[in-house]
């Protein structure tokens, strides 16, 4: 089997030793060199550290109502102030961010795996399966994600789990379409034929060789869909369809903050700023990955 791998790498090497490590490396390198990409990475690192480290960083329990008073303005004790139930808003924002990121990440990952598998299979096998799968994908892609999400919430009932399923569901067609296109572009290249000729199994050809070369566009799409997922998660929690109180979420915080704009501006402003930073970073990141992985698509 090692002969097969070697063969694939030789085929790739004529355009500058692009083995799979260096392909990933050059993409990452391109993102970091791009100022937009750097801003995105700094923003995301900050937010992810905040979300992952929430239990350590936050000085207060996000659901504890024992703080000093209602609607305390931001201070050194309570960086983001406190809310109507005397809870610390900095803690609630961090834990809300954590929840929103977790739902988005898990559901996009699930949707991506299913979508990419469908797309690769459709592209690799072709025929009736491909036609049927792609018509279905077209039909699903024709509708905005939120309409599909509302339909799924109607079937499963409101809640975080339903939101996750809804996001995974609308992630599938976008990835199936892209993965199929990648597969069609790659499957007749010489390195694929070579590894097939050497007796590599179809699974090995698809997942060891083609998947690796089809990787960068899928990564771009993932960053973009993470932004969409974060947005839809927040929108649905904002509408009051996703929370299990008292656990916080970014959308839920914004929804409640609306009623107290007169008393506590910080209630809306800080969670809103964190949410905006998250969306900005994800959008910038997908732009940066796109430019880094396809240099010829750089802006004119």
| Chain residues that interact with another protein, rule: CB under 8 A | 139, 142-144, 146-147, 150-151, 153-155, 157-158, 231, 234-235, 238-241, 254-255, 257-258, 261-262, 265, 268-269, 272, 275-276, 279-280, 283
Report, in Å, the least distance between residue 103 CB and another protein: 16
Report, in Å, the least distance between residue 36 CB and another protein: 10
CA 149 to chain centre: 16
Report, in Å, the least distance between residue 48 CB and another protein: 18
**Beta-carbon count within 10 A of 204 CB:** 16
Report, in Å, the least distance between residue 257 CB and another protein: 7
- Pick the closer one to another protein by CB: 213 or 286: 286
Instruction: Decide: 148 and 166 in contact? Cβ < 8 Å.
Output: yes
- Pick the closer one to another protein by CB: 108 or 254: 254
Q: Which two tokens stand for residue 293?
A: 């992985």
Instruction: Decide: 214 and 245 in contact? Cβ < 8 Å.
Output: no
CA 251 to chain centre: 17
Instruction: Decide: 191 and 11 in contact? Cβ < 8 Å.
Output: yes
Report, in Å, the least distance between residue 255 CB and another protein: 8
- Pick the closer one to another protein by CB: 15 or 262: 262
Q: What share of the chain is helix, strand, coil (3-state, %, to 5)?
A: 75, 0, 25
- Pick the closer one to another protein by CB: 125 or 156: 156
Report, in Å, the least distance between residue 74 CB and another protein: 15
- Pick the closer one to another protein by CB: 138 or 190: 138
Which residue from 197, 224, 213 is spatially nearest to 120, judged by alpha carbons? 213
Length of the chain: 300
Dihedral sign, Cα of residue 78, residue 80, residue 82, residue 87:
negative
- Pick the closer one to another protein by CB: 8 or 229: 229
Report, in Å, the least distance between residue 125 CB and another protein: 24
Report, in Å, the least distance between residue 251 CB and another protein: 8
CA 212 to chain centre: 19
Which residue from 143, 121, 117, 139 is spatially nearest to 130, judged by alpha carbons? 121
d(CA 122, CA 291): 28
Instruction: Decide: 194 and 11 in contact? Cβ < 8 Å.
Output: yes
Which residue from 32, 232, 68, 226 is spatially nearest to 145, judged by alpha carbons? 232
- Pick the closer one to another protein by CB: 1 or 147: 147
- Pick the closer one to another protein by CB: 10 or 151: 151
Which residue from 4, 13, 21 is spatially nearest to 212, judged by alpha carbons? 21
């Amino acid at each position: 089997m090692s002969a097969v791998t070697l063969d694939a790498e030789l085929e790739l090497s004529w355009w500058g030793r692009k083995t799979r490590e260096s392909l990933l490396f050059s993409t990452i390198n391109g993102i970091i060199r791009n100022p937009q990409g750097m801003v995105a990475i700094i923003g995301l690192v900050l937010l992810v550290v905040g979300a992952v480290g929430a239990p350590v960083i936050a000085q207060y329990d996000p659901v504890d109502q024992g703080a000093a008073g209602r609607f305390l303005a931001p201070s050194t004790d309570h960086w983001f102030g406190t809310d109507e139930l005397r809870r610390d808003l900095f803690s609630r924002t961090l834990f809300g961010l954590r929840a929103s990121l977790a739902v988005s990440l898990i559901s996009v990952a699930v949707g991506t795996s299913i979508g990419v598998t469908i797309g690769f299979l459709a592209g690799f096998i072709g025929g009736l399966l491909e036609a049927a799968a792609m018509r279905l994908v077209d039909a699903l892609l024709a509708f905005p994600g939120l309409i599909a999400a509302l339909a799924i919430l109607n079937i499963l009932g409101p809640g975080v789990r339903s939101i996750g399923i809804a996001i995974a569901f609308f992630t599938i067609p976008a990835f199936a379409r892209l993965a199929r296109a990648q597969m069609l572009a790659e499957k007749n290249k010489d390195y694929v034929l070579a590894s097939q000729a050497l007796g590599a199994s179809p699974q090995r050809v698809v997942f060891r060789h083609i998947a690796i070369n089809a990787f960068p566009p899928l990564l771009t799409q993932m960053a973009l869909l993470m932004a969409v997922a974060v947005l839809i998660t927040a929108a649905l929690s904002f509408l009051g369809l996703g929370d299990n109180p008292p656990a916080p979420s970014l959308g839920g915080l914004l929804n409640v903050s609306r009623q107290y704009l007169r008393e506590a501006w910080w209630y809306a402003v800080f969670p809103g700023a964190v949410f905006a930073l998250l969306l900005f970073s994800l959008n910038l990141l997908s732009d940066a990955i796109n430019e880094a992985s396809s240099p010829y698509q750089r802006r004119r």
